[in-house]
A and B are shown apart, each in its own frame.
Chain A
Amino acid sequence: SQTIHQWPATLVQPVGSPLSLECTVEGTSNPNLYWYRQAAGRGLQLLFYSVGIGQISSEVPQNLSASRPQDRQFILSSKKLLLSDSGFYLCAWSVNNEQFFGPGTRLTVL
């Protein structure tokens, strides 16, 4: 069966520091991968999606970036965090239009 891992589960970072959140999927090949940010009362905001290695589409211009160095690995990064980057970040993979979510990372920028 397929599983999706995200780490870390929680992260507290100072403003201006770099960020790297990792997501890996097991049990499937060539999945579509997604990074979302979930804000209270605002649902899920799609940040990036990828249909293959090295293929990244950005939905929201901001100081975040994403990379897909391997088929089942998706990384969310930032060179310099802003206070507004605080939030709950979810990774997901999909097949046949159905998306499956990871446990999320709670990021607090101080």
Chain B
Amino acid sequence: AQSVSQHNHHVILSEAASLELGCNYSYGGTVNLFWYVQYPGQHLQLLLKYFSGDPLVKGIKGFEAEFIKSKFSFNLRKPSVQWSDTAEYFCAVNAGDSNYQLIWGAGTKLIIKP
């Protein structure tokens, strides 16, 4: 069965630190990849996505993610975090033949200390 693994359930960083959240998936075919974010008290919203082309994708608020096909990974990065980045981050994968279903990681709660 397809699965998505997020390596850290909780991450605590200080402002201006660099961030990398890991995401690995298990599916050998074509995939579409997503990172979603849920700020406290707000809807889940799309942070960035990869469908094809340049494996380094840029999203909102200075986030980026790199698709490394050989490692089945789609790690999320930000060079310098802010207090407002405190949120829960979810990685999700759509296999090319899955009829629009997304497979979700368990999420990573990120806390930024001011």
Contact = CB atoms under 8 A, between A and B. Distances in A.
B43 A103 contact: yes
Interface residues of A, number: 20
Contacts of A92: 44
Contact of B101 (A43, A49, A98): A49
A64 interface: no
A44 B100 contact: no
How big is the B interface, by class?
20 to 34
Contacts, number: 46
Contacts of A90: 44
The interface residues of chain A, by DSSP majority, are classed as: strand
Interface stretch (B13-21, B62-70, B72-80, B103-111): B103-111
B24 to A, nearest CB: 14
Contacts of A103: 43
Interface in B68-114: 90, 92, 94, 99-102, 104-107
A52 to B, nearest CB: 12
A42 B106 contact: yes
A57 to B, nearest CB: 8
Interface in A6-45: 32, 41-45
**Most chain A C-beta atoms within 10 Å of own C-beta, residue among B32, B46, B99, B102:** B102
Interface of A: 32, 41-46, 49, 51, 90, 92, 94, 97-104
